[in-house]
Amino acid sequence: TFVIVLKTAEQIEVMARAGRVVGRTLDMVGTVIRPGMTTGQLDRLIEDFIRAEGAIPAFKGYQGFPASACISIDDEVVHGIPGKRVIEEGVIVSVDIGAIVDDYYGDSARTFGIGEVSEEKRRLMEWTLKALHAGIDKARKGNRLGAVSAAIQQVAESQGYGVVRQLVGHGIGRAMHEEPQVPNFGSPADGPVLEAGMVIAIEPMINMGTYEVRTLPDGWTVVTADGRPSAHFEHTVAVGPDGPRILTAA
């Protein structure tokens, strides 16, 4: 059944601690990611950092996922598995991280440009981040969830980009994925009415070309159907009494 678990103010403070670990970890990634490093090396740094913060990497072992971060390069949309692949100059790298503190989850992602990236990739990252923040701004009590979705879609499609439909954001709390689903497309009239105490992970996955995606034979890595690049930004956001609160800021 469809149950949205509301969080108390105290529970949201715990989630903010988990979220802060994720935000700090992504800040760390921004300082160390460089051409020549493998995605496996980056994953190891991420896992060590999360554990040094006293948190648990949420993705490791999740439904069998073998690493602490999803690292997805260029046409990889999400759920890339870290390994021997070398991060090269000019690519864009989406890093998605989760952490658990006192049984509560934080979940956030950023896409990083490596060295000199093309103008069209730079713009894709810029507009995906803008779409995320347009969605966050609609995460207010009294709005329907679809207001978040519609805002993201409008910003992304204003640039001619494809909004991924097969994957969506989600409620989050004592589980990484709770109700409701948070699509990145839709109408402001869709979905449940937002209430203070709801916590959602808002995560536009925006493709330079078609919105269609497929999954590689590894069972995890989602890639664009047309091979063009994709960007991904995500925050865990609490619907507060006075507006949205980003819990995964560093």
Q: Which of these ranges, 18-26, 92-100, 147-155, 224-232, lies near Mg ion under the rule CB under 5 A? A: 92-100
**Which residue from 153, 171, 146 is spatially nearest to 238, judged by alpha carbons?**
171
Minimum distance between the CB of residue 96 and Mg ion, rounded to whole angstroms?
A: 4
Q: Which of 43, 47, 75, 107 binds Mg ion (CB under 5 A)?
A: 107
69 in contact with Mg ion (CB under 5 A): no
- Name the residue nearer to Mg ion (CB basis): 17 or 226: 17
Residue number with CB closer to Mg ion (12 or 176): 176
Site string (156-195) toward Mg ion, x via CB under 5 A: ----------------------------------------
Asked if 201 interacts with Mg ion (CB under 5 A), we say: yes
C-beta of 194 vs 237, nearer to Mg ion: 237
**Quick one: which segment of 5-13, 21-29, 103-111, 130-138 binds Mg ion (CB under 5 A)?**
103-111
| Shorter beta-carbon distance to Mg ion: residue 19 or 189 | 19
**Under rule CB under 5 A, residue 75 binds Mg ion:** no
Does residue 96 belong to the site contacting Mg ion (CB under 5 A)?
yes
Q: How far is the CB of 34 from Mg ion (least distance, A)?
A: 23
- The residues of the shown chain that bind Mg ion, judged by CB under 5 A, are 96, 107, 109, 201, 203, 234
